[in-house]
Chains A and B, each alone.
Chain A
């Protein structure tokens, strides 16, 4: 099946630094990717919809200047957590839509665990 890869799988950073997480669709083109955040023992909360070649659409309450999303190619979307703070520590998960399949299918990455000290 289709594979979505996230990198890094885990990262530890100091408070105030920025961290970039990559989401790649390995064997299909994804014009749309979704970014979710999951706190321990909680559900996945949609942060934003990433569209190739255009600006991301953010969900209500998600700061676009803090969570920068770039979707510059059909196989790569990046999420940059700027000026990270301990409360940003979370599990970040992306999903990518394969539009060449009918019906369209959504594939999830394995997640990236961010710990901010």
Chain B
């Protein structure tokens, strides 16, 4: 079945630095790749997503890149702030609105 691998599992950066989280997926039929931010004790919140017909998408300090050939996609956060500290999950789906397969999660810590 579909599998999504996410690295690193933990990431610590200084405030103002950039953070990069990478994911690979196994099912070539996947065409929708969202990223979620989860704070302690809460449900996941969508922060950015990308579809397979696009290679890169940016929203202020957050960007996502997709390499369909290599089957990997990455989250880039620039100018990190302490409030960016949370667990981030990548996910893959065969269609937007369909069932999501999540990566293992990355615990991001931004030190002031």
Contacts and interface: CB of A to CB of B under 8 A. Distances in A.
Contacts of A97: 97-98
Given A99-B97, A103-B96, A103-B97, A110 B102 contact: no
B61 interface: no
A110 B103 CA distance: 19
Interface residues of A, number: 25
A43 B100 contact: no
Interface of A: 6, 32, 34, 41-46, 49, 60, 93, 95, 97-99, 103-106, 108-111, 113
Given A32-B97, A42-B105, A44-B44, 14 more contacts: A43-B105, A44-B100, A45-B102, A46-B99, A60-B1, A93-B43, A93-B44, A97-B97, A103-B97, A104-B97, A105-B96, A106-B34, A108-B43, A110-B43
Interface of B: 1, 34, 36, 41-46, 89, 95-105
